[in-house]
Amino acid sequence: MRTKILPKWPTLLYVVYGAAVCYGLQDVLEDCFDEVQRSNISKADEDGEAILHADGKILKGENYSQPNLEAIISKKIENDSQSID
C-alpha cells in the first residue's frame, strides 16, 4: 500500500506549495501548518489522549483552541509593508 500511495504525496505537496506561491503565502505556509497542528493537539485530554466520539470522530477537549491563522497572515502583511518603506 505504501508504494501505491507514496508517489501521490509529492503531487499533493506540489499543489499546496504552488497555491501558496500564487497567493504570496509561501513564507508563512510552515507557520500556518504549525498553528493548525498546535490547534489539533489542543483537542487532547489532560493525559494527551484523543477524546473520541462513538463513531471515531475526534472531539474537542476543554483545552481546545482554534488556530489563529489571521495573526500569522497579519504579521506577514505588516513585515511586508515595513520592508517596502
With H, G, I as helix, E, B as strand and everything else as coil, classify residue 58: strand
SS3 38: helix
Q: Per-residue pLDDT for the chain (85 aa), expressed as one digit of tens each? A: 788 889 899 999 999 999 999 998 999 999 999 999 999 999 999 999 999 999 999 999 999 999 999 999 999 888 888 876 5
Q: How high is the pLDDT of residue 85?
A: 58
Residue-level pLDDT at 80: 83
Letter for the amino acid at 77?
Answer: I
Residue 67 grid cell: 488556530
**Sole residue written with cell 513585515:** 79
What is residue 57's DSSP assignment?
P
Q: What domains, with CATH codes, occur in the chain?
A: 2-84 (1.10.3420.10)
